[in-house]
A and B are shown apart, each in its own frame.
Chain A
Amino acid sequence: MIKTDILIIGAGPTGLFTVFEAGLLKLKCHLIDALAQPGGQCSEIYPKKPIYDIPAFPEILAGDLVDNLMKQIEPFQPGFTLGERAQSIQTQDDGSFIVTTNKGTKHHAPIVAIAGGLGSFEPRKPPIPNIANFEDKGVEYMIREPELYRGKDVVIAGGGDSALDWSIFLTDVAASVTLVHRRNEFRGALDSVEKVQELKNQGRIQLITPAEVVGLVGENTLTGVSIKQADVTSDKPCDYLIPLFGLAPKLGPIADWGLEIEKNAIKVDNTLDYQTNIPGIYAIGDVNTYPGKLKLILCGFHEATLMCQSAYKRIFPDKRHVMKYTTVGGVEGFDGSKKQAPKAVVKAIN
């Protein structure tokens, strides 16, 4: 069981900055994120896009913003559970919470801060009839265990980096690899595109473009796919279809936690501390809603700051606390580091 003071769900910019504000109050944080790396949308969707409305940064790339936040929170030694989605929450008798991920990892904390953005990133599923019936029976949206495909006939659908990279990788594992994409052009890194071209020339990847998987064949498990190319549809036998169309955010299991939801977001008390209808659970950043809400990173930072003050009072109801400026108090890390403004030198002039 992982124990912490504030359990943060979502390691996007707002979740990361929460670690800093909590750290100033000597509260420890642990973050859960469905993605394999911190940064949320900034890392997953637009790391190379410039952001222009972060105060004091006339321009900063989303990926650099995440790197800076990671550096800023380093002294506070946050814990991470990455690649796992927060699945369920149980309130304990003392008002604390146990949050369990889809992989069964348990986390215990007196405070939960949901900073989940638009939700956890999940694979985009193509609208092929009956596709849900074949999930885990030949249709896989992500490759967890490459050995599953050893000696099998595999069809991959998609035109981005993951479709290209996995097609390349599986040529050494699968009996056959077929890549189906609606366009002749691929969006991936040049190296990957060239490698697929080379493997195609060697006859190790069958490339079917411009074409689309439009149907699934099989009784209980997948035995083939229907591929439409230039208005002609034909069946191709295979053991696996792997649609790789990237990820899209979904609010997911959090929607069933008994929180008040409005407009696909969690309602919070914005007049005070961004607490939800369940005491001890806060929602900050893009995941929350209140009158006048703006989904901006800078608003998420503000919400995180106020939320941490409230969390402190909840954890230590009898302690008096005064907010300290970092210019005055410096930053004392849990790792023993200390940053502080240099003291002025006072010297008399004779």
Chain B
Amino acid sequence: MMENKDILIHITDRDGVSHQVKAPTDMNLNLMEVIRLYELAPEGTLGVCGGMAMCASCQCYIDSNHHLQDMNDDESAMLGEAFHVLDTSRLSCQIPIDPSVDGLQITMAPQEH
């Protein structure tokens, strides 16, 4: 039997609506791509740079106590110039979907204008 490789992510979208979504861990996905997969943000407003930590359109706030991978320099520098930044801010494109983030709770940051 195939091993179940899906994990659960709790996402609060920009309108404050909560979603509980399943995400596969065997597809080399990142969190930004999961948000796009479920169309939780309008096209063109999330992952504008494609996931290279070169825009801040996929910024999110980490609401749960998961221990995530440390930020690399690109992500850190981009958040240094992002808006609406909190201590819990991360770029969702830099969070790989693997079993360690099962149950992760996040809130999407407001869209920049």
Contacts and interface: CB of A to CB of B under 8 A. Distances in A.
Interface of A: 41, 45-46, 49, 118-119, 124-127, 158-160, 181-183, 185, 187, 245-246, 248-249, 251, 263-265, 289
A187 B83 contact: no
Contacts of A158: 81
Nearest to B44: A264
18 contacts: A45-B52, A45-B55, A46-B49, A49-B52, A124-B83, A126-B83, A127-B112, A127-B113, A158-B81, A159-B80, A182-B81, A187-B77, A245-B83, A246-B81, A248-B48, A249-B48, A264-B44, A265-B43
Contacts of B76: 185
Contacts, number: 58
Given A45-B54, A124-B112, A248-B55, A181 B80 contact: yes
Contacts of B77: 159, 183, 185, 187
Contact of B44 (A159, A187, A265): A265
A183 B80 contact: yes
B52 A160 contact: no
Interface string B32-57: 00000000001111001100101101
Given A248-B48, A263-B44, A264-B45, A185 B83 contact: no
B54 A187 contact: no
B85 interface: yes
A118 B113 contact: no
- Nearest 9 A/B pairs, CB to CB: A264-B44, A263-B43, A187-B77, A183-B80, A264-B43, A127-B83, A45-B54, A245-B81, A159-B80
Contacts of A118: 44, 48
B112 A248 contact: yes
Nearest to B42: A264
Contacts of A124: 83, 112
Contacts of A289: 43
B84 interface: yes
Interface in B57-113: 57, 76-77, 80-81, 83-85, 110, 112-113
Contacts of A245: 81, 83
A12 to B, nearest CB: 13
Nearest to A119: B44
Nearest to A184: B80
Interface in B8-33: none
B39 to A, nearest CB: 9
Contacts of A251: 44
A24 to B, nearest CB: 30
Contact of B81 (A187, A264, A265): A187
A247 B72 CA distance: 22
Contacts of A264: 42-45
B75 to A, nearest CB: 12
A125 B55 CA distance: 13
B52 A46 contact: yes
A206 B94 CA distance: 34
A286 to B, nearest CB: 9
Contacts of A126: 83
B5 to A, nearest CB: 25
A46 B80 contact: no
Contacts of B83: 124, 126-127, 245
Nearest to B57: A248
Contact of A45 (B49, B85, B110, B113): B49
A181 B43 CA distance: 30
Given A248-B48, A251-B44, A263-B44, A125 B80 contact: no
A248 B56 CA distance: 10
A119 B42 CA distance: 15
B74 to A, nearest CB: 9
Contacts of B52: 45-46, 49
Contacts of A49: 52
Contacts of B43: 263-265, 289
A207 to B, nearest CB: 15
A183 B79 CA distance: 10
A170 to B, nearest CB: 19
Contacts of B44: 118-119, 251, 263-265
